[in-house]
Chains A and B, each alone.
Chain A
């Protein structure tokens, strides 16, 4: 039409179904193509959970496929770490270099110096990395933790089972969300939206408890503003009323519960049961003092929750990127148990972990066995943290405290810890101490910038991968991510890259990987399920039902444990996780908030999605923090002014948005901005909130329990 504007070429239209791995929820997608070009992403009808819809990030996935940050070939760092100076090298040269480095470490008797960081732990790709580490001789596979991990631990302690949490959301008729961003990315994003539509149709009541009027709160039937960080205390306050008024499910509690009443332990000492603790410490008036929620509201909510046919309480703040305090989860889960809705219609289910990756046991040599016998570098599984599988948030400080980094070589795939870890500066300092970092990123990101070698994976629309267990699904699902277009660049599937490294290492390491290619591995792993998976794009068992109460609990007593020995030293009742900073220097509290219009995880937001961000969240390169109008006024601030936001982690310049939808004393900052300026559409804008908040260790699990940090806001 005009020579200087592109005229998109026409051709034959066709559609490819896949699963988009950009968001945490993994949306089922249908991609419209014109010949070999992908031109539009839509939701895939019939996909479990998302059924024909997709979240904004997944809808804009073509901007990742064809975007400027995609890595086009293996890269070797030539400049300083983080400087972004690279030279292109061949795949063979890159693999040879890794094999040589790892070979030397193993010969020197330090295979445990290899670590791996991923964003997931289920499915064939994480399993390949886990197997590689095992035969190589390192126990240090790490995963970025989320609310799912805290929930898994909760089920482990209270049900005695290794399971992931499933929520029968659609059947619930009273939903009490204790800070969960049910419409802000929590769980499987799109499934949550669809569940909400169902709640509206069924006149279910939704109560949102959180300090800020988020989208989840705005669309709830009732918003209960609460003092930041005290949601777990409110859960126990509600439990207090339910117990005191005798509204709990006696059939469940008496017959299938343990630790509800006081008991005498093996040591002969009397222990307070859940009932005693809750009645003693969590009366509505006490709880009101801590949470600033009116005692009448606590009582009303408790009565309504107990009176509902299918009440469901949810835990895990915001999108669920930070695990949170274990006792919050246990308090909320105990609340569900009080009304007998565990493994029941409309309740929380223990769903077995996916177990389809069954490979023959790998043969280990002495070097591997010696390496595997060492303690994990992050402390997970040691005497101090017996419950955690991995504790990535502890890693930076451990590396920084050591003279030489205990991690000598690091693989990173699917994760972006240099952006997502709390206290980013400390994390980056730790990464710069690691002698050898290999990133398998398909797109250049903050962590790949710190790498010595980048071995680019195919993009999410260019590869096969099994995607099991979407967050919060109460029925088992395996989705299939499959290539929509042929790889556009000189990339290799990360699974193939692992196989290549293993083969180059030789010996038992190579022997453990008998597959010709990742594709071969995927097909053989799925076996008879491969063809159905390929045909439908997913395998789903919608008829799955959880174990009935009589056989659901595998705790020592075979019952649901209201109290766990693991937390026994907290018998005075669950305290609130302390956050960093002293109130006199920092009179306010900074909390991060999540929104679907900004990707807060390892994947950077796309140009389309950042375009939807309002101009009182981001303006030019300036980020806005939200503060209650009255608080802002007291600090001498006005709408739009520049201010210094300081926390014990540092001071940044922000602009102020005065809000009526936030509790006084709280400063809220969006998660997902402040990316490195790798491109200028999304990068270099605003501040990464993780820079301002440090990790707070949960005393029991060791996972990050930080929900905020003390802060101050002064006019700039």
Chain B
């Protein structure tokens, strides 16, 4: 784990996604692919090998017509902190290709270090990590749209959402040039946050009480960042991964779906 190096107050960048607002339009997914040079293949319908750093899931309450209801759930990397930065993926990486930054709270992915063992993919309970089974191929001419801010990946390595870390670097560079050490809330926003036409995604420093994300979920840092705001929840809270992506929903069935159990799970556990 990377220890804080700066003399700045450590940040904990995180995201709050209001599922009542999300309409499942897919703008966040497309904005993410365009921002991060995410490759695409001729057939992307095998969702197991379709690289989507941001993926919108469709949840249903499972009730028959006409009581059926659906809810969309965008899933970036959760940037888990675990206990003191021991996020599930960071703990298992033998190459230190993925690391937890105590400066920003961001889980990095260093492509040149990754040798593709995919332990991190097995460890990630959110399916947020993707393996490059092939070298990316752009149709002739389309390499022109690649952004120089994000490295292009190759066959044999794992990639995932970086909370658009290059945008943080760009914002910090600008701040340093202007003699500042701190960023304003709107100076660093992820591509998906910026793109969401419904305003469902909010991004900022969970440690900063002035930031909207903090106010929206009131994270309890004494208890692994657990949300204290009503209607706020995290995915698979019980695993103790301490993720930095929070969700809001007024619908109880949606909040329950966020911590789904296999039928009977937990009951057996209680016997021990």
Contact yes or no, B195 A53, CB < 8 A: yes
Contact yes or no, B138 A218, CB < 8 A: no
Indicate whether B96 reaches chain A with its CB closer than 8 angstroms. no
* Of B45-53, B99-107, B175-183, B260-268, the one with at least 4 CB within 8 A of chain A: B45-53
CB distance from A488 to the nearest CB of B (A): 8
Find chain B residues with CB under 8 A from A63 CB: 142, 145
Indicate whether B211 reaches chain A with its CB closer than 8 angstroms. no
Contact yes or no, A620 B138, CB < 8 A: no
Main secondary structure of the interface of B (DSSP, over half): loop
Q: How large is the interface on A (under 10, 10 to 19, 20 to 34, 35 or more residues)?
A: 35 or more
Contact yes or no, B146 A39, CB < 8 A: yes
Contact of A60 with B34 at beta-carbon distance under 8 Å, contacts A40-B147, A215-B25, A612-B56 already known: yes
A182's nearest neighbour on chain B, judged by CB, is: B23
B42's nearest neighbour on chain A, judged by CB, is: A680
B25's nearest neighbour on chain A, judged by CB, is: A596
B132's nearest neighbour on chain A, judged by CB, is: A5
Indicate whether B81 reaches chain A with its CB closer than 8 angstroms. no
Contact yes or no, A41 B25, CB < 8 A: no
CB distance from A640 to the nearest CB of B (A): 13
Q: How does the 8 Å CB contact mask read for B84-100 relative to A, with 1 for contact and 0 for none?
A: 00000000000000000
Find chain A residues with CB under 8 A from B37 CB: 8
In whole angstroms, what is the CA distance A25 to B205 when docked?
Answer: 34
Q: How does the 8 Å CB contact mask read for B53-79 relative to A, with 1 for contact and 0 for none?
A: 000101010111110111110000000
Contact yes or no, B71 A183, CB < 8 A: no
Contact yes or no, B154 A66, CB < 8 A: no
Contact yes or no, B68 A660, CB < 8 A: yes
Contact yes or no, B45 A615, CB < 8 A: yes
B153-190 contacts to A, CB under 8 A, are 153-154
CB distance from A162 to the nearest CB of B (A): 32
In whole angstroms, what is the CA distance A43 to B198 when docked?
Answer: 13
Contact yes or no, B44 A56, CB < 8 A: no
Indicate whether A664 reaches chain B with its CB closer than 8 angstroms. yes
Contact of A5 with B136 at beta-carbon distance under 8 Å, contacts A597-B26, A613-B45, A661-B70 already known: yes
Interface residue from B21, B141, B195 paired with A54 (Cβ < 8 Å): B195
Contact yes or no, B199 A8, CB < 8 A: no
B192-216 contacts to A, CB under 8 A, are 194-199
Indicate whether A65 reaches chain B with its CB closer than 8 angstroms. yes
Contact yes or no, B152 A681, CB < 8 A: no
Indicate whether A587 reaches chain B with its CB closer than 8 angstroms. no
In whole angstroms, what is the CA distance A667 to B93 when docked?
Answer: 48
B145's nearest neighbour on chain A, judged by CB, is: A62
12 contacts between A and B (CB under 8 A): A1-B111, A42-B194, A53-B196, A54-B27, A56-B27, A63-B145, A215-B23, A215-B24, A596-B25, A608-B29, A611-B29, A664-B65
B interface residues with partner A (beta carbon < 8 Å): 20-21, 23-27, 29-31, 33-35, 37, 40, 42-47, 50, 52, 56, 58, 60, 62-66, 68-72, 111-112, 135-136, 138-148, 151-154, 191, 194-199
Q: Which 10 A-B pairs have the closest CB atoms?
A: A660-B68, A193-B197, A8-B146, A53-B197, A612-B26, A62-B145, A10-B148, A8-B148, A56-B30, A611-B44
